[in-house]
Chain A
Amino acid sequence: MLALLPLLLWTGPEVTLLGGPSRDGRVMSNVQAPSRELVLFDFAAKTVKRVAPANGGEFAYFSIVSADGKQVAYAWKNADGFYELRVDGRTVYRNEEAGFVQPCAWTPDGKAVLTLLFRKDNTSQIAMVPLAGGLPRVLKSLAWVYPKRMDLSRDGQWIVYDSLVGQERKLYVLAADGSDERPVGEGVFPLWREDGKRVVYALGDELWELTVASGERRKLRDGMGRFLPLGITAGDALIYGLRAGGTEVYYGKRQPASLRFPDRNSAPGWSADGKWLAYVSRRGEENFGEESRVLVVREVDSTVEREIDPGLAIVDAPVWSSDAKRLLVRGADRQGRAGVFVVEVASGKVTPVEREAGLEPALFRAAWGEEDSIWVQRGTELRNGERLLQNVRSFAVRGGRLAVLYSNGKLEVDGQERGSSAAKEIVWRGDKLVGGGAYDFSGEREAWTESTARNEIWQWELPR
């Protein structure tokens, strides 16, 4: 039998994959980059229809098209700085305590949307959100881990979702009324096929299928790269996103920093003596998400390169201590608490400096200050979308324990207040928090990230 070749439907710098196809496969919702406007791509006519324009700090995120192709449900970052669920411009669910929402599937009658709610205490919840108002029906709560994807069978009876168990993503089938649930094995990004009996899902760069009742599995395709199943059409065609290209760190006269793993690197930082470059590098066949990032430290005048796996869920923006023994990073731990961490270069040991549940890592800025003290700024996104300075704290590492030196205008040493200190002692350079007290800018070196990454949307007829 001849397997049909996949068909490229759409690509371009504006494609983000934060959307899904209509059942008839003619259109797909997408949140445009970089404007974050919500649009519909019409694949045949090659036109783009605007649905919800971004507006200052307000913009669209995940989106899905209703079964009849007439409505789009989407996450909307509102003027108050959290995400609410909207349908065609109308707010259908808004709750700061579930400040991030991911709509995943419409019910067949179009009256509710299967949605992931992310609570501030780091739990995610599988919920049915009624569109006519009223409280969501929370079917199941998951601690720390969240499904990458879930889907509702065509008859609206069964949900399939993935969840992290230990180090593996496992699939579960859950009754839509919350009466029953069973595990059905390994996999990620599950979608129901038209027959409501089979689920297709990803395993690394392979596409697999599971017949739920019998537990029978078969591989449908391999070598698919970093792909993301987006939806299955009424004609049983899989629409999927593909992340092509990559990002690389360069320094000096555009020399690539990586020796072994090109095209998957970012966030360079130089040591004070200019000998070492640290950067973040992706590992594994992860499709999407940030789970498998490691830190790489590279001695630039040699081929010495070391990999540090800090065991954090997210790691970003490494900054060297003056003695080049430690890296300050921002990120999130495995329990999803975002903040700032110190990583010992020799041992990989991680010490949290400041962390809090329910925040995005990007809200944190950190820098080394005098005598290897640490400055942390926790920003808050405010109404106009601007990041405001809030909660500046400084820590000193003493005998392995962190002591608060400065907190919101108060200078403290080991918990004892010692007069006050003004925020002007914190040094900024452009958008970067550089540290507390004096800082020497001389001798700074250049290192930067270049990206050829782009998203593509493909269609592939699933084998019968």
Chain B
Amino acid sequence: MNAWWLAAIVAVPLGLDQLIPAPAGNPLEAGRVKLGRKLFFDKRLSRDGTVACTTCHDPARAFSDGAARAVGIGAQTGPRRSPRILNRAYGKTFFWDGRAASLEEQVVQPIANPLEMGMRVEDAAARVGLTRDELTQALASYVRTILAGDSPYDRFLAGDRGALTADQQAGLKLFRGKANCVACHLGPNLTDEDFHATGPAGPDLGRYEVSRRPEDRGAFKTPSLRQVAETPPYLHDGSLASLEAVVDFYDQGKGSDPEIRPLRLTAAEKRQLVTLLRAFTGRVQEGMP
């Protein structure tokens, strides 16, 4: 079984599950991962040959891009920020609003998106000598191998009490207690893979566009917090410039989600939470070793 073979040679970073979920129709297989990696860096997948997946998901920036809004072909700016695409193999839905149910469904959408790569998926596939299915399966397989773990936080959880500083340990206590972050940011990937309105609703209605449920107005998918310190600005619209600003935002507690409320954090507590968020930065690995 190929999947078995892959699990045997992809050393999953500390903190993540050994089981890397993949659909029965597209099990992880070395050839597809290698092909997917090539495609991920290939600008020919965009209409004018200027944009690759890596333009917005840069391996040197934790697979995000450092911009508040994604910039695609012809320097067009899209409505949302490019998320870090880390540990997405463990994801349940994709995009900030969860409109894609699988990576296979997701990976072709940026190609077709006129603001991003602007090309018919079949044409893009033909340009690189593949069928649409081959392209889809290879890209999805490669994305599944982009894994982040082995952070001080993971080492602390694995039992190394010295892996976090005293301030970070105090931050972890807050994260799980008074600051209630763990209500949504939990598990190996620090996300519940669910949708929440964490702040005042803006022009982007988020999950509501998909579900049409009133409570989903302004709700977005909880992002993993892995490598978060490496990729300001934050939130779906890049509206918060720093981790300090994110903690202030939660302290105000203006979102309509039942888990959000004013936290009344002291200045010291805010600082401890920020130092903890920095401890989520570890090692990112991708592709086959």
Which residues in A have some Cβ–Cβ distance to B below 8 Å?
A: 94-98, 119-123, 125, 135, 137-141, 143, 174-175, 177-181, 335, 337, 356-358, 404, 415
- Set A97, A138, A140, A179: member contacting B156, Cβ < 8 A: A97
Known: A175-B4, A335-B183, A356-B177. A181 touches B21 (CB 8 A): yes
Known: A97-B157, A143-B192, A358-B176. A178 touches B17 (CB 8 A): yes
**11 additional contacts (CB under 8 A) given A125-B17, A139-B18, A356-B177:** A95-B157, A96-B159, A119-B157, A122-B186, A123-B188, A135-B14, A141-B17, A178-B19, A179-B7, A181-B19, A335-B183
Q: What CA separation (Å) do A153 and B158 show in the bound complex? A: 27
Interface residues as binary, B84-106 with A (CB distance below 8 Å gives 1, 0 otherwise):
00000000000000000000000
B182 touches A122 (CB 8 A): yes
Q: What CA separation (Å) do A366 and B192 show in the bound complex? A: 30
Collect the chain A residues with CB atoms within 8 Å of residue B161's CB: 96
From DSSP, what is the main secondary structure of chain B's interface residues? loop
Known: A121-B187, A139-B19, A175-B4. A97 touches B159 (CB 8 A): yes
Collect the chain B residues with CB atoms within 8 Å of residue A175's CB: 4, 19
In the complex, B3 has a CB within 8 A of chain A:
yes
A140 touches B176 (CB 8 A): no
In the complex, B267 has a CB within 8 A of chain A:
no
Separation in Å of the B89 CB from the closest CB of chain A? 12
In the complex, B132 has a CB within 8 A of chain A:
no
Separation in Å of the A141 CB from the closest CB of chain B? 5
Interface residues as binary, B260-271 with A (CB distance below 8 Å gives 1, 0 otherwise):
000010000000
Q: What CA separation (Å) do A231 and B156 show in the bound complex? A: 35
Interface residues as binary, B141-153 with A (CB distance below 8 Å gives 1, 0 otherwise):
0000000000000
Report the nearest B residue to A180, measured CB to CB: B3
In the complex, B1 has a CB within 8 A of chain A:
yes
Collect the chain A residues with CB atoms within 8 Å of residue B60's CB: none
Separation in Å of the B32 CB from the closest CB of chain A? 16
- Set A95, A97, A123, A181: member contacting B186, Cβ < 8 A: A123
Collect the chain A residues with CB atoms within 8 Å of residue B4's CB: 175, 177, 179-180
Separation in Å of the B282 CB from the closest CB of chain A? 15
Q: What are 10 sample pairs from A and B whose C-beta atoms fall under 8 A apart?
A: A94-B159, A119-B157, A120-B176, A121-B176, A123-B188, A139-B19, A177-B4, A178-B19, A180-B1, A404-B264
Collect the chain B residues with CB atoms within 8 Å of residue A180's CB: 1, 3-4, 19
Most chain B CB within 10 A, of A122, A174, A181, A358, is at: A122
B264 touches A415 (CB 8 A): yes
Q: What CA separation (Å) do A163 and B47 show in the bound complex? A: 46
Collect the chain B residues with CB atoms within 8 Å of residue A357's CB: 176-177, 182, 186
- Set A98, A139, A335, A415: member contacting B17, Cβ < 8 A: A139
Report the nearest B residue to A95, measured CB to CB: B159
Separation in Å of the B92 CB from the closest CB of chain A? 10
Q: What CA separation (Å) do A143 and B183 show in the bound complex? A: 11
Separation in Å of the B272 CB from the closest CB of chain A? 17
Interface residues as binary, B40-73 with A (CB distance below 8 Å gives 1, 0 otherwise):
0000000000000000000000000000000000
Collect the chain A residues with CB atoms within 8 Å of residue B18's CB: 137-140, 177-178
B19 touches A174 (CB 8 A): yes
Q: What CA separation (Å) do A139 and B187 show in the bound complex? A: 13
Collect the chain A residues with CB atoms within 8 Å of residue B19's CB: 139-140, 174-175, 178-181
Q: What CA separation (Å) do A131 and B206 show in the bound complex? A: 48
Collect the chain B residues with CB atoms within 8 Å of residue A137's CB: 18
B7 touches A143 (CB 8 A): no
Q: What CA separation (Å) do A96 and B3 show in the bound complex? A: 33
Q: What CA separation (Å) do A404 and B264 show in the bound complex? A: 10
In the complex, chain B residues 18-40 whose Cβ is within 8 Å of any chain A Cβ: 18-21
Separation in Å of the B163 CB from the closest CB of chain A? 11
Which residues in B have some Cβ–Cβ distance to A below 8 Å?
A: 1, 3-4, 6-8, 14, 16-21, 156-159, 161, 176-177, 182-183, 186-188, 192, 264
Most chain B CB within 10 A, of A98, A121, A122, A135, is at: A121
Q: What CA separation (Å) do A335 and B159 show in the bound complex? A: 24
A135 touches B17 (CB 8 A): no
Q: What CA separation (Å) do A135 and B187 show in the bound complex? A: 18
Most chain A CB within 10 A, of B156, B158, B182, is at: B182
Report the nearest A residue to B261, measured CB to CB: A401
B187 touches A123 (CB 8 A): yes
Q: What CA separation (Å) do A140 and B16 show in the bound complex? A: 8
Q: What CA separation (Å) do A403 and B43 show in the bound complex? A: 56
Collect the chain B residues with CB atoms within 8 Å of residue A98's CB: 157
Collect the chain B residues with CB atoms within 8 Å of residue A138's CB: 16-18, 188
Known: A97-B159, A180-B4. A143 touches B186 (CB 8 A): yes
B17 touches A140 (CB 8 A): yes
Collect the chain A residues with CB atoms within 8 Å of residue B3's CB: 179-180
- Set B6, B7, B159, B186: member contacting A121, Cβ < 8 A: B186
Separation in Å of the A378 CB from the closest CB of chain B? 10
Separation in Å of the B11 CB from the closest CB of chain A? 11
A121 touches B182 (CB 8 A): yes
Collect the chain B residues with CB atoms within 8 Å of residue A141's CB: 17, 187-188
A177 touches B8 (CB 8 A): yes
Q: What CA separation (Å) do A142 and B18 show in the bound complex? A: 13
Q: What CA separation (Å) do A415 and B188 show in the bound complex? A: 34
Q: What CA separation (Å) do A135 and B188 show in the bound complex? A: 15
Q: What CA separation (Å) do A139 and B188 show in the bound complex? A: 12
Q: What CA separation (Å) do A121 and B8 show in the bound complex? A: 28
Collect the chain B residues with CB atoms within 8 Å of residue A415's CB: 264
B17 touches A95 (CB 8 A): no
Collect the chain B residues with CB atoms within 8 Å of residue A140's CB: 17-19
Collect the chain A residues with CB atoms within 8 Å of residue B157's CB: 95, 97-98, 119
B158 touches A95 (CB 8 A): yes
B1 touches A143 (CB 8 A): no
Q: What are the 4 A-B residue pairs with the smallest beta carbon separation, nearest first?
A: A178-B18, A179-B4, A95-B159, A179-B7
Q: What CA separation (Å) do A120 and B177 show in the bound complex? A: 11
Collect the chain B residues with CB atoms within 8 Å of residue A337's CB: 183
Collect the chain B residues with CB atoms within 8 Å of residue A358's CB: 176
Separation in Å of the B97 CB from the closest CB of chain A? 21
Collect the chain A residues with CB atoms within 8 Å of residue B156's CB: 97
Separation in Å of the B26 CB from the closest CB of chain A? 14
Separation in Å of the A375 CB from the closest CB of chain B? 18
- Set B1, B7, B192: member contacting A178, Cβ < 8 A: B7
B7 touches A177 (CB 8 A): yes
Separation in Å of the B259 CB from the closest CB of chain A? 9
Collect the chain A residues with CB atoms within 8 Å of residue B14's CB: 135
Q: What CA separation (Å) do A98 and B161 show in the bound complex? A: 13
A135 touches B158 (CB 8 A): yes
